[in-house]
Structure formats: C-alpha cells, structure tokens
Amino acid sequence: SPLGEAGSYCCTQRNHDAWTEIATEVDVVVVGGGVAGLTAINTLLNHNVTDVVLLEAQDRLGGRVRTYRQDGVVVEDGAEWIHGDERNALHRLASSLLELDENPPADDDWDWHWVTEEGQPGRVLDYAKLMKLFEETEQPGLLEPYYDTGYGYYYLDRFPEVFPPSTPHQEGLLHYLHQIVNSDEGTGSWLDMSAEDADQYEHQGEDFQWKNGYDTLITYLKETIPETVVHLSTPVTQVVWDCPEFPSQALVVTQNGKAFRARHILVTVPSAYLQKNHLTMFQPRLPSDFLHNLEGVRLGVANKIQVGWAEPWWGKGLYALDILWSHFNLPPHMCWLYSVVSAFSVHQQKAVVELFVTGNSSLYMEELQEDEVKDHVMHLIRKASGQAVPEPTFFRRTRWSRDPWTLGSYATYITVEGHEAGLRNHSQLAQPIKNSAGHTVLLWAGEHTHNTRYGTVDGAMDTGNAEALRILGLLKPSSP
Ligand SMILES: Cc1cc2nc3c(=O)[nH]c(=O)nc-3n(C[C@H](O)[C@H](O)[C@H](O)COP(=O)(O)OP(=O)(O)OC[C@H]3O[C@@H](n4cnc5c(N)ncnc54)[C@H](O)[C@@H]3O)c2cc1C
C-alpha cells in the first residue's frame, strides 16, 4: 500500500530523520519561480497567507520569460507576444501598467517578401490562401471529425482542395503550412498533436507586445514578494509527500541543503522536467494515474535565432522574409534550415531579425557550434533576399532543450498516443494528490496544466492563481 511504502521509506532512510529535524515549517512551498509560481505566491500573499516560500532552481526568476539585453539590443529568449486583445487578462494587466505597446505594426509597415530560397518571388495569392487555410481550424466544429487523430490530418485533407496538384511549388506550399503550424504549436510534426487538444486551445485575438520587454512582467510580479520568501539557486531534489510520521505535511529537500515541512506543496516545474525527474524527486512514487497522464503529453522544442546589424541593410521599416522552399537540395549538414520559413524584424529593434526553428531541426541546431549556425543562417538570408547582406554584429540562438530546468520550450500538447490512452484535457494534470491520511499535499500548476491556454504566459499565470485559491480553501479552518 502507499502507506506502507511511504512508511517504510520514512523509517528506513536514516538521513530522512535528520532532514525532518532541521526542516523549517511553513504553510506552503511553491516549487518553481516562473510566472505560474510567482502568480501563486502573490495570490497567497494577497490573502494574508504569508508563511510561504518560493524555491527556484536558477539564479533568476521568470523561467521561460527571459529577456536578453546587450548594447541597446533587446530580444526575448522565451515568451515574446501577449496572445490576445482586451479579452486576455495579461493584455489588460499590461495595459493597466501602461506597459502595453498599443499599436502593433500594420501590414503596410512591413517590407515584406515572399520568395523561394533562391530569391524567386512566390505568388502573393498563394500566400493569402495559405494563411486563410492556416487560420481555418479556429472555426468551431471543423476539427471534430479528426479528434482521434493528429491535428495535421485536417490540413492534409484540406490542402489539395485549396492547392490542386497543378499549383506551382505545391510541395513547398504544403511544407510552409506544416512549418508555421509547428512554430505555432511547438510540434516537430503536426501529426504528433491530438486534434482534440488543438481544438481546445482558445484564441483570444491578435498578438500584442510589451513596450519594454517581457521581463516587465517579472519585475511587476516580484515587486510584491518579500525577499525572504524567495530562495534562488535552490533546486528541489526531493519531495516526501506521504509520511505517516507527519500526515498533514510533506517534506521538501533542496540541493543546497535546505529543508521545509509544508502543509501544501505547489509544483510548477515544466512538464518535461517532471517526466524526466519524477522518479528521483518524489517519494513515494507518484500515483500511477498521474504518471499515466504525464506520459500523454509532450513539451515542444522551438528555438529562436536572432541576427542583428548596426544598421538595417534592407532600408527603412520592418523587414519580413517568408521562404517558400522549392528545391530541398541543401547539403545534409544544412538540412535543419528547412524548418526555417521566415525571418522578421524584432519588436522595436531597427536592425535585428528573428527566425524560428522547430522539432528535430531545432534539436540538431542546438548541437551545432554557434558559428556554424550563423554561417548557415547567413547563407539562407543572402540567397533568399538576393542581397549582399553584411556580416552581422549581433547573433544569438536559444537552446531550450538543453536547459536543464526546462528541457523544451512550448507548448505542452497532448499527443495522439496520450489521447488514445484516455488523456482528454490538461486539467487532468492539475488534479491534486492526497496522501494516505487523506490530506491534499501535492498540487500542480504551470503552462502544461491549462486546458485552453496551455503554452502561454497568461495560461500559466491563470493556473498559479487557481491553485493558490484552492490552497486557500484547504487552509481555511473548517467550521465547527
Ligand atoms: C521560445 C519560447 C517562446 C515562447 N513564446 C511565447 C509567447 O510569445 N507568448 C506566450 O504567451 N508564451 C510563450 N511561450 C510560453 C511561455 O513562456 C510559458 O508558457 C510560460 O512562461 C510558462 O510558465 P511556467 O511558470 O508554467 O513555467 P516556467 O516558466 O518554465 O517556470 C518553471 C520554473 O521552475 C523552475 N524549476 C525547474 N525545476 C526545478 C526544481 N527542481 N526546483 C526548483 N525550481 C525548478 C525553473 O527554473 C523555472 O523557473 C514561449 C516559450 C518559449 C520557450
């Protein structure tokens, strides 16, 4: 029985008693200082639950919100857009802080090119039809017949209806569509993601941006948290969540030798981190239902490459290059570039462009030396733009799958296999876990636990708030 296992763990591990003795007692431990964890702590503090700690593995807060600044260049390693208009709570927050860029660029602001990798112009009408097709799945009901399969099958069926075989560059157009779906979802293949999951995502309008970088949000969220609550560079290594010796608490041990006994532990670490580390992190082993659900999701790997110059070589305005691959004849070591289908100006940076790389290509790119990545990207930009583009003065690429505290980027999606095995929505991963004494010790929040806004900052914040409210309910003394 779980009690027996937990009991024997507690009694036989000699160092366990030592940890228990030194452990600081608190009401709540929040594991992970991304936006979910920060929001949870703020909700608890706002409701006067002050006996709380936030344990963050890294020496900074923010997790997948990470703004990089160098010599006047500001780029986002992680989250970049607020995905939604006034309907979106984060949009409203940024607006109320006077930190929202209220006027996203209009179509006319872009110096836009739709070209093959050789620099030949594509047909603008085809591009328009592609975008319409891409957005079609937002309409209710269209994906329903595909619920038991991969999201991409919808597009594979519809594509030949819109682009018959006689269409020039038919293969390249399909490839473009696949890649923009991949960069939207973080998938490596659009067949990997459950169509039902894709359909559950709630669109909330156009994208907006922060005026002065996404980390404005982190500064705002941490402003109200006392310094004593936050423990940076404090990875949690063990959570003993079912121990008969202290039935209404769990023990949390950190790599740097701290220990806490708390009534509730809210775990907000990324899904891929949980998948990799749950066996060593949780004692006893997490319930099999939970693990079954955890197996049904995957965290996508998308990376960014940012290239900058002292002055924009394209002239004035914002630059955008959309690439219609036509020949697929790159040498093998450069094949990862096929997943790149656009380069576009970075928000408020007059001479920096950004490219997205997804899936296996993204993993391959992470393994390359930075100079190789730069050479490959410059080869592509020069050929496709048809210009003698100078060597860049700024170059950066992310490597999210190698980040030990994240092991991926966005979004956590339900796989086709996960759907087949019964996982229908992300909130199944937010089900709190009770110990043998019936006490709710373990709770879950983070991007991966949101049903309709998984993979977003606002979704992650929402889950942090919701779980903090759940904890408040649990902490309330029951009426006599
Ligand atoms: C490249 C990229 C682009 C994105 N673009 C957008 C976008 O444009 N718009 C948008 O809305 N969203 C975007 N996202 C997604 C968004 O960033 C995430 O959904 C959101 O930030 C997740 O927040 P979280 O708190 O759930 O997780 P995280 O931010 O990952 O926070 C989890 C925290 O847990 C910590 N941790 C891990 N293990 C331990 C441990 N053992 N002990 C203690 N702490 C630990 C981590 O260090 C981390 O700080 C993007 C993400 C990436 C990577």
Reported ipTM: the value is: 1.00
User: What separation, in Å, do the N-terminal and C-terminal C-alpha atoms of the chain show?
Assistant: 32
Residue identifier of the C-alpha nearest atom 12 of ligand 1:
456
Residue identifier of the C-alpha nearest atom 22 of ligand 1:
447
pLDDT tens-digit readout, 213-247: 999 999 999 999 999 999 999 999 999 999 888 89
Return the pLDDT at 6: 40
Q: What SS3 class is residue 40?
A: helix
Atom index in ligand 1 nearest the CA of residue 36 equals 25
Q: Give how far Cα 254 sits from Cα of 273, 401, 464, Å.
A: 16, 23, 21
- Asked if the bond preceding 284 is cis, omega within 30° of 0, the reply is yes
Q: Kindly report the length of the chain.
A: 480
| DSSP assignment string, 306-367 | EEE-SS-TT-SSEEEEEEE-------GGGGGGGG--EEEE-TT-TTEEEEEEEHHHHHHHHH
Rounded Cα distance, 45 and 53, in Å: 11
Is 448:270 a contact under the CB 8 Å cutoff?
A: yes
Q: Residue 210, exposed/middle/buried by CB under 10 A (0-12, 13-18, 19+)?
A: buried
pLDDT tens-digit readout, 51-103: 999 999 999 999 999 999 999 999 999 999 999 999 999 999 999 999 999 99
Residue identifier of the C-alpha nearest atom 33 of ligand 1:
32
Query: Which part of the chain has CATH 3.90.660.10?
Result: 105-205+301-402
Q: Give 36 Cα–ligand 1 centroid separation in angstroms.
A: 8
116 has pLDDT over 70: yes
Q: Residue 143, exposed/middle/buried by CB under 10 A (0-12, 13-18, 19+)?
A: buried
In the predicted model, what is the mean pLDDT of residues 9-31? 77
In 10 A of CB 362, how many CB atoms? Answer: 29
Return the pLDDT at 319: 98
Q: What SS3 class is residue 377?
A: helix
181 has pLDDT over 50: yes
Rounded Cα distance, 208 and 84, in Å: 7
Q: Residue 452, exposed/middle/buried by CB under 10 A (0-12, 13-18, 19+)?
A: middle
Q: Give 335 Cα–ligand 1 centroid separation in angstroms.
A: 29
Residue identifier of the C-alpha nearest atom 6 of ligand 1:
79
Q: Give 417 Cα–ligand 1 centroid separation in angstroms.
A: 24
42 has pLDDT over 70: yes
Among 39-53, 141-155, 440-454, 464-478, the minimum mean pLDDT is found in 464-478
Return the pLDDT at 243: 87
The class that CATH gives domain 105-205+301-402 is alpha beta
Share of the chain above pLDDT 70, in %: 96
The class that CATH gives domain 2-64+212-298+413-475 is alpha beta
Return the pLDDT at 382: 98
Out of 30, 258, 410, mutate this one to test ligand 1's pocket (max ligand atoms within 8 Å of CB): namely 410
Q: Give 263 Cα–ligand 1 centroid separation in angstroms.
A: 25
Q: Residues with Cβ within 6 A of ligand 1?
A: 31-37, 55-58, 63-65, 78-81, 83, 235-236, 268-270, 273, 302, 304, 398, 400, 405-406, 409-410, 446-447, 455-457, 460
Q: Name the token pair of 132.
A: 């319409």
Is 235:280 a contact under the CB 8 Å cutoff?
A: no
Closest CA to 269 of 257, 252, 250: 252
Split at pLDDT 50, 70, 90, the class of 13 is low
Return the pLDDT at 395: 98
46 has pLDDT over 50: yes
Q: Give 218 Cα–ligand 1 centroid separation in angstroms.
A: 12
Q: Give 449 Cα–ligand 1 centroid separation in angstroms.
A: 12
Return the pLDDT at 477: 73
Out of 29, 30, 64, 266, mutate this one to test ligand 1's pocket (max ligand atoms within 8 Å of CB): namely 64
Is 94:202 a contact under the CB 8 Å cutoff?
A: no
Query: Which part of the chain has CATH 3.50.50.60?
Result: 2-64+212-298+413-475
In 10 A of CB 315, how many CB atoms? Answer: 8
Q: Give 65 Cα–ligand 1 centroid separation in angstroms.
A: 6
Residue identifier of the C-alpha nearest atom 13 of ligand 1:
79
In the predicted model, what is the mean pLDDT of residues 193-206? 97
Return the pLDDT at 479: 53
Residue identifier of the C-alpha nearest atom 10 of ligand 1:
456
Split at pLDDT 50, 70, 90, the class of 144 is very high
Q: Give 399 Cα–ligand 1 centroid separation in angstroms.
A: 14
More confident residue, 314 or 2: 314
Contacts of 29 (CB under 8 A, 6+ apart): 52, 53, 55, 250, 252, 260, 262, 264, 265, 266
